[in-house]
Amino acid sequence: MIPVAIDTNNNPWFAVSGGAEHCCLVKMVNDSMVNYSNAEFGFTPYYFGDIEIDRQNKICCAIDYLLSSGRYGPQLMIFNGESAEQLQYDSVSIVSSITVDDQDTIRCFGMGGNYAVYDGEEWSVNDSSFIEKGIFAIEQAPDGKMWVGTGDGIYISD
């Protein structure tokens, strides 16, 4: 599955991973494709997971190390079309999915029930709430509440 997100100009973006350390972002503009890769990112992402787009049209990518045999690195990349910022909240968690809320806060979840929130400046990591349940989906509703799908049901928070 290739993650897809639509920017505020209605351009689709695709996170393409041809294998470990062979990743690029592809932006469709009208009938043409624009490719972005290591040269623009400033580093070599391991493998792209989920992607989302914030209100400023920055592409937020989860970097997935699930198949890496113990290699870890930045868990997120924020790409502005010219350069990338690498983000990491710990040294061992594997982020499988992200969502960006209406305040551009990035919410990450992944293996082992970990859940981390990045507000643009700081990380807040919750090691315990979902560790037993596991998070499988998270999305913001139009009323601003966050819906969290777990192995134990749905949780709704403000």
**CATH number for 117:** 2.120.10.30
Looking at residue 153, its pLDDT comes to: 86
Phi and psi at residue 111, in whole multiples of 5°? -60, 140
Looking at residue 19, its pLDDT comes to: 80
The larger pLDDT score, comparing residue 55 to residue 93, is at: 55
For residues 77 and 116, the answer to whether their CB atoms sit within 8 Å is: no
Looking at residue 119, its pLDDT comes to: 93
Looking at residue 111, its pLDDT comes to: 66
Residue 77 lies in a domain: yes
The larger pLDDT score, comparing residue 130 to residue 51, is at: 51
User: How many domains does the structure of the chain reveal?
Assistant: 1
Residue 121 lies in a domain: yes
121: containing domain: 4-132
pLDDT of 35 strictly over 90 = yes
- CA-based Rg of the chain, rounded to a whole angstrom? 15
- Prediction pTM value: 0.86
Residue 158 lies in a domain: no
pLDDT of 128 strictly over 60 = no
The angle formed by the CA atoms of residues 154, 105 and 23, to the nearest 5 degrees, is 95
- Residue 62 has a CB neighbour count (10 Å cut-off) of 25
